[in-house]
Amino acid sequence: MFDRIIEVENIGLISYKKAWEYQQKLVQARLDNPHLPDKLLLVEHPAVYTLGTGSTLDNLKFDLNSFSGELYRTERGGEVTFHCEGQIVVYPILNLHYYQQDLHWYLRQLEEVIIQLLAEYNIEAHRIKGLTGVWIGNAKIAAIGIKVKRWITMHGFALNVCCDLSGFEKIVPCGIRDKFVTTISHYDPSISILEVKEKLVKTFAKVFSISIG
């Protein structure tokens, strides 16, 4: 057993706005009381596009004036991405004072969670030097974008499990023009998103050396 405990909330389908507001509430609570336990939120979002704080509109392939869907500019890092059902979005609310106060370390840890998780499905995933995220060959399987305030984390990563990738065709995902996106279901058509969530939580706890509360 590890000293640090993380509480898991498998929320399911929730609007991006509600999940974003909930994260902000959890972060503020931990800024007010640093002794609160960490949280790990697992969600799915209805179709939505999100932009990082410094991302450019040049990576949108649609006209914003005639766009009728949902799009948010957030405080996370990274470029534009797409969320939809069948994609697991993971929001760790961690106090990095209890881990390492190092954003590069944190990003590499998130990547390691995904790499180890995919290895359980005999899928060989990897990093690409200079790029944040996780890849299978030349295809991105997971996008990462974080925000850290006084070493409390929010936002996180999105793992494509069994989602419809057509929404990505309307953007340049993460601003990278010479690569594409993929899903776990491409390699394992019988994949269960519920099982992936269960394995993901266990893998996260192992990589971060924490106990599930």
How does strand 211-212 pair with strand 5-13? parallel
Q: Find the Cα–Cα–Cα–Cα dihedral 4, 151, 88, 42, rounded to 10°.
A: 50
Question: Can you read off the two tokens belonging to residue 48?
Answer: 């939505």
Residue 190 Cα distances to 44, 134, 140, 181, 193, angstroms = 19, 21, 20, 19, 10
174 is catalytic: yes
Phi, psi dihedrals of residue 197, rounded to the nearest 5°: -60, -45
Query: How far is residue 86's CA from residue 81's CA, in Å, rounded to a whole number?
Result: 15
Which candidate in 84, 162, 163, 174 is catalytic? 174
Question: Can you read off the two tokens belonging to residue 19?
Answer: 């999940």
Residue 81 Cα distances to 8, 148, 196, angstroms = 24, 19, 21
Q: Write out the catalytic residue numbers.
A: 174
